[in-house]
Structure 1
């Protein structure tokens, strides 16, 4: 049977609150440090053009039902033609672009700076939490949870008799690490509040891959089934008028 614990207020004052405050301050400090380390590069005209082509193709897919089938087919050929379509990328050009992207020293340096600004603060913070606050039960969630959440909420506590709703200090650190995006959006702005989950997902890539994005958008535009919505709109309008007349 799960045991109910009475948490000391000193744990709140010396464990829970300091952990939360330190995580917020480290997130803000990491944002400004990464901003200072970021190198200023002029946007490539070719990359901007390819990005605009992708946006136009997506708009065509989204509004395909509002234009006739003949007009849609003409626009789709304009984008997906194998000879001179805007979305068509030859294999040689795609391989050269990928090789150039991996061989660019500035891009590799920027990626290394991002990784350092992400890994070093979190490694030091986790070592600090693990050394000073290991084994503490820091908080309790005000609603019941199943046993599947025990590994996520009670990291560092090897007691199966403790109720699942209790959160250890180490788990509180991870919850703050992946869940402070809302607070950062209020402090730094919505565009700057990229949470650590998204940063970790971006650590393995080098940014925008134009050839891959163009190929994916070309495949999406090729398989779309056109269905003109204007006849249905006229039918719906007639039905509405009939109901109003009745």
Structure 2
């Protein structure tokens, strides 16, 4: 039978609140550090144009059911025509995305800086949490949960008799790490630097093959 615990208010004041505040401050600090580490080089107009074409093609696919079929087919031909389509890449001319990134030293350096600005703070923060706050039961979720949530909410606590709704300090760190994106969007704006790595991977073309997109994007 699961045991009910009485949480000390000192845990709230010295574990729960400090962890939340530190995670928010680290996210804000990483935002400004990422801004300082950004290169001031002017983006290649060709790359910007290609990115805008891909966005327009995705919007067309998303709105395919809201426009007449004839209009959709004409726009599809405009993008994927094998003679002069904007998304058509002749055979042998498609460049590997990773080779394209490493051919541009500025892009590779920006990626390395952003990875360092994300990995180093997270590593130091996790070491700090694991050293000072490991083993604490920091909070309780106000609704019942199934046993599948135990490994996610009670990381660092090896007691199967504790109710699943209790959250350990280490799990609270991970919940803040992955759940503060909305708060950062409110504080720093939608274009905050905490998502720069994911956005840069999308813009740089990882996993993207233009010769395939012109067919996959219009498979409707």
Q: If the length of structure 1 is used for normalisation, what is the TM-score?
A: 0.75
Deviation of residue 7 (structure 1)? 0.6
Shift of 1:106: 1.1
Larger Rg: 1
- Name the CA shift for 1:58/1:127 in 2 (closer, same or farther; >3 Å): closer
> What's the CA shift for 1:59?
4.7
TM-score (norm 2): 0.83
CA distance in 2, matches of 1:79, 1:197: 28
3-state DSSP of counterpart to 1:139: strand
Residue range with higher mean Cα deviation, 194-203 or 138-147: 194-203
How big is the alpha-carbon RMSD for the aligned residues of Structure 1 and Structure 2?
3.1
Aligned CA distance change for structure 1 residues 36 and 68 (closer, same or farther; 3 Å): closer
Q: How has the CA–CA distance of structure 1 residues 94 and 167 changed in structure 2, closer, same or farther, with 3 Å as cutoff? A: same
The change in CA–CA distance for 1:88 and 1:191 in structure 2 (over 3 A counts) is same
Is the contact between residue 136 and residue 168 of structure 1 (CA under 8 Å) also seen in structure 2?
yes
Equivalent position SS for 1:138: strand
- Residue-pair matches, total: 212
Distance in 1 (alpha carbons) for counterparts of 2:61 and 2:144: 45
What is the CA deviation profile of residues 54-106 of structure 1, one whole-angstrom value per residue up to 9, with x for unaligned ones? Answer: 34434544555676655544443332221222110123221266523222211
Deviations 1:131-173 (A, max 9, x none): 0011000010111000000000000000000000000000000
Distance in 2 between residues matched to 1:6 and 1:207, nearest whole Å: 50
Aligned partners of 2:71, 2:203: CA distance in 1, in Å?
Answer: 42
Distance 1:191 1:102, change over 3 A: same
CA displacement at 1:31 relative to structure 2:
0.7
For structure 1, the 5+ residue unaligned runs are: 213-246
Residue segments in structure 2 that go unaligned for 5+ positions in a row: 213-220
Would the alpha carbon gap of residues 201 and 208 (structure 1) be closer, same or farther in structure 2, given more than 3 Å must change?
Answer: closer
Whether the 8 Å CA contact 1:111–1:206 is kept in 2: the answer is no
Q: In 2 relative to 1, CA 166–120 (structure 1 residues): closer, same or farther, beyond 3 Å?
A: same
